[in-house]
A and B are shown apart, each in its own frame.
Chain A
């Protein structure tokens, strides 16, 4: 069953562990600027939002790539870059609406999340569970349940059960 990298910014503590494990795993060094995931912060407002490739259903990166170098991995659903074909034109970076494609200034290559081949390391390290790797079918059920809890509290109060 297809899984999805699910982000819950409300739980993010801003620790940037995801950024450093991402580069340690892929580039064998620690360097957040070369990470495939990035925590966007509004520090003085206390807002942290992890941003990463959404592995879109209709990926613009794939559509604009003149070399057809971006293809979906059937196993994980991740959009992968074939570096044998990629010419580094960065169109994918320009068109991605989320900033999901990053430019590695060291190598000139474009980088994007490959879901670590189906076991995203950032998820394993994310203690507050702001990043989760979930079955596509259960994601919405979870969201619905969380939203429904608010109603359920309301119902309880209305019925004076608490």
Chain B
């Protein structure tokens, strides 16, 4: 059965590999995927270790439902102490790796130590070997996967890889699989690089057993129907996440020129319909009916020919609005470059946009940039800087260390202009008019981030009866209001924690679609697939437990209320444009602090954001670290 599957402990220093079954108690408390990874993170990473040293531990986990033919069940969770924030590092990636790892017999990997020379993990039907990767070192993220498949004479090997950015210890290097899928955030590729681990390759032919296969099949079909009946999924099937741009840019919820405006003027070329010029079809992750990824081709122009997958809404911001580049083609080229080198799109774009603003303000000049002209909208500068960052050359080398180090090195008031929280860049969304989204990025355990708890449906101005039905208490339907928004964030946190732990896609739960599968459906899927019983309240408690153990990890690293903050500019500079409801908005400091108090009290955390004793007891976290696995 699903919950009987294995966890492998791999020490790259000694080469020792041990595998054990995952006890059912651990499943009951944390499900799988991110949940178990967060438990392992708290238990296996000691306080204050160097994130790039051998004592940091890299965790790879498949979700509890991994393998079911619905809801994009192939998500893989990758975690470690983050070299960007120094707190929870955790990133979730789709594609086909997780099911292959599960078919190979493993659900979780705990990778510690550091290899002497470049290696990759070879995992094949119950066997794990540490293999030489000297021929892979220096290769880009696409070639690395092809070479592994060629060397093994097996096209079906699925790989997690790093690119040159990870090898060069760029702090925000990511982990990639396939053409498009990236575990982008919190620098997990940097941790892999620090361990001399170039790739993890899996191939499996074992069965994945489910408790009630016939009923599960029927219910999976129902789930796919349910998600495809939402307008969000149908739009995504055609345009991908690019579709968000049309709405947010018109409203005025997009950062442009770093943080100078909240709408991109003359940004029509970035409208999703223009992808028609390049797209040759969509592609989907494992078990996904939606298929939101463009497969695109650039046939002409100085950077052609390019075949790639993407771009995401995030790419439009990172290489479009934030750096004031207004051409889809620029975004497509930059998207391909970061994917090839293995850099996080969002962090790369955020840092470059910040550097461009510093250049404009005269805080840095041509001497600092070695002559590179960091002008808004200059696509050649953009491409050059991406390449410099990945190879740690010239000015790019400074940015490659991320916001915290770059701010201290540049000094002056450079920190004021940085749109970062806990050291990590925020999405190109402008949260000044939307308190719920502002609270979400401020409190996210992994640093500024939209995927930890974003109540995106707040933007739909839904009827308050419906909102109350979803969130369980009154919530204002006005997205510029502060009323009830802490509850929204709290609810979404728990839902996303559970989604990441059963290993399904966030786009196929209540993220952007209101009538998508959530607690009741998850409950039934877990019953049919794993034979485990939960009530809705119990599942919500699992979400609470996962989020709280993340909070405990950060607390142990010295984080507190002061880190659950917004960049100063959110309170000082009003939005210059947008719809009347959005224009002239900044975050009200007092109301924000009140919202934060409410949020802590909903969690059962004290005014400093630390879990209270009774909360820990209620969640069974009072004896952590408990080392059950």
Contacts and interface: CB of A to CB of B under 8 A. Distances in A.
A binds B: yes
Interface of A: 10-11, 13-17, 20-21, 24-25, 27-34, 41, 43-46, 48, 105-106, 121, 124-125, 127-128
Contact of A17 (B228, B281, B287): B287
Interface stretch (B213-221, B518-526, B571-579, B587-595): B213-221
A106 B207 CA distance: 9
B282 A13 contact: yes
Contacts of A128: 237, 282, 284, 291
A30 B207 contact: yes
Contacts of B289: 15, 17, 125, 127
23 contacts: A10-B281, A13-B282, A15-B284, A15-B289, A15-B291, A16-B96, A16-B99, A17-B288, A17-B289, A20-B67, A20-B69, A21-B69, A31-B207, A43-B179, A44-B145, A44-B307, A46-B179, A46-B281, A48-B283, A105-B205, A127-B237, A127-B291, A128-B284
A17 to B, nearest CB: 4
B224 A14 contact: no
A109 to B, nearest CB: 15
Interface string B184-215: 00000000000000000000011111100110
B220 to A, nearest CB: 8
Nearest to B177: A43
Nearest to A32: B103
Contacts of B214: 28
B284 A30 contact: no
Given A20-B69, A45-B307, A125-B69, A31 B205 contact: yes
B438 interface: no
A17 B69 contact: yes
Contacts of A27: 207
B379 interface: no
A43 B217 contact: no
Nearest to A121: B217
A116 to B, nearest CB: 11
Contacts of B280: 46
Given A43-B178, A46-B179, A105-B205, A14 B283 contact: yes
Given A17-B69, A44-B142, A128-B282, A31 B287 contact: no
B309 interface: yes
Given A15-B289, A21-B69, A30 B210 contact: yes
B175 interface: no
B207 A29 contact: yes
Nearest to B233: A127
Given A21-B217, A46-B295, A121-B217, A13 B284 contact: yes
Nearest to B143: A44
Nearest to B529: A30
Contacts of B99: 16, 30
Instruction: Tell which of B179, B213, B216, B228 has the most Cβ of chain A within 10 Å.
Output: B213
B281 A24 contact: no
B79 interface: no
Contact of A24 (B69, B206, B285): B69
Contacts of B155: 41
A31 B179 contact: no
B82 to A, nearest CB: 29
A15 B213 contact: no
A50 to B, nearest CB: 13
Interface in B307-325: 307, 309
B424 to A, nearest CB: 30
B287 A20 contact: yes
Given A48-B283, A121-B217, A24 B291 contact: no
Nearest to A15: B284
B165 interface: no
Those 6 A-B pairs whose CB atoms lie nearest each other, nearest first:
A13-B291, A15-B284, A29-B207, A13-B284, A127-B289, A46-B295
A15 B307 contact: no
B179 A15 contact: no
B216 A44 contact: no
A26 to B, nearest CB: 10
B283 A24 contact: no
B39 interface: no
A45 B142 CA distance: 11
Contacts of A44: 142, 145-146, 179, 307
A151 B286 CA distance: 37
A105 to B, nearest CB: 6
A24 B205 contact: no
Interface in B141-163: 142, 145-146, 155
Contact of A16 (B210, B221, B287): B287
B68 interface: yes
Given A17-B69, A34-B207, A43-B179, 10 more contacts: A17-B70, A25-B217, A29-B213, A30-B210, A31-B103, A41-B155, A43-B178, A46-B281, A125-B220, A127-B228
B309 A24 contact: no
A106 B209 CA distance: 14
B205 A33 contact: yes
Nearest to A18: B69
B283 A13 contact: yes
B96 A29 contact: no
A125 B237 CA distance: 15
A17 B288 CA distance: 7
A160 B626 CA distance: 76
B378 to A, nearest CB: 30
